[in-house]
Structure 1
Amino acid sequence: MSSVELDERLVRDSYPVAELPLCQLRLMDDTRFPWLILIPRREGVSEVFDLDETDQRQLWHEASEMGRMLKAMTRADKINVANLGNVVAQLHVHVVARRQADAAWPGPVWGQGQAQPYDLDELASMRDRLLAQLDGLKTRL
């Protein structure tokens, strides 16, 4: 899917969904939180400021569009967008749909309990929903 080699932890912990103009879009393997990851297809990038200005704008545009899409899909109370990189240095941006009733609210999702992996049917359903929404965004990305 992507020409940039991904950190093995990103591969292990998430599923590919689509290629956006700049980023590979992946779904985090945890059903507790609707959680997307955007990974720019640029080699050797660990910080947003490592991207040129055009790519920086595109990254935040894609993050905003994915947040808007995820909020509409999930009726989330809040969308969390984060770029940490303390564990996985490769630049990636988390877009997480949060609900006041979720397992980690109001704290961060990281380090909260055990991930609940998608089963094959749940994964297929979530991917299909995401792809259907993405189809409607093609002209905005």
Structure 2
Amino acid sequence: MNPFELHPRLSADTFLLAESGSSVLLLMNNALLPWFILVPKTDRRELHRLDPDLRRRVRDETDRLAAFVEREFQPDKLNIATIGNLVPQLHIHVIARYRTDHCWPAPVWGAPQRSDYETPEVERLRECALASLGEGFAPRPGI
């Protein structure tokens, strides 16, 4: 797999919001939960196997993404994970969870409830994320 090519499942299930030199930022197409995914630009499948410099940059981006999700959505809990059982490409989920959400306290994976995003909301989230993540990220238009 080319390090810059998204796994087909990630491409099918998400909106590409932004890109940095180290990763791409995705939004899961399920408006029931604020669910972002950071995909490092690598062919490595595990976070600890990244080159130390790339690992540091990706962890910094993950921290900035988590801080954005906390500020913007004020969740009861943040779920941050690199599961990858169905999608082997390294990707980091940052999900805002609420005690009132549709699958609390269970994991979000495999929950049948979903609601597609409308284009204006995707654009709003892209703008908010870019403003919050700051330097290094550029928009990736095209929904």
TM above 0.5, yes or no, is: yes
Please name the residue that 1:70 is paired with: 69
CA contact (8 A) 2:102 2:113 kept: no
Find the aligned partners of 2:12 and 2:36 in 1 and give their Cα distance.
14
Gaps spanning 5+ residues in structure 1: where? none
Gaps spanning 5+ residues in structure 2: where? 137-143
Following superposition, the deviation at residue 13 of structure 1 comes to 0.5
Find the aligned partners of 2:41 and 2:29 in 1 and give their Cα distance.
21
Find the aligned partners of 1:12 and 1:115 in 2 and give their Cα distance.
15
Find the aligned partners of 2:109 and 2:60 in 1 and give their Cα distance.
24
Please name the residue that 1:131 is paired with: 130
Identity between Structure 1 and Structure 2 (%): 36
Q: How many residues align?
A: 135
CA RMSD between the two structures: 1.8
Find the aligned partners of 1:32 and 1:130 in 2 and give their Cα distance.
18
Find the aligned partners of 1:82 and 1:126 in 2 and give their Cα distance.
21
Find the aligned partners of 1:124 and 1:29 in 2 and give their Cα distance.
13
Following superposition, the deviation at residue 30 of structure 1 comes to 0.5
TM-score, normalized by length of structure 2?
A: 0.86
Following superposition, the deviation at residue 111 of structure 1 comes to 0.9
Please name the residue that 2:78 is paired with: 79
Q: Which has the higher contact order (CA 8 A, sep 6+)?
A: 2
Please name the residue that 2:140 is paired with: none
In the TM superposition, what whole-angstrom CA distance separates every residue of 1:31-55 from its partner, at most 9, and x where no partner exists?
A: 011011000112x221113311121
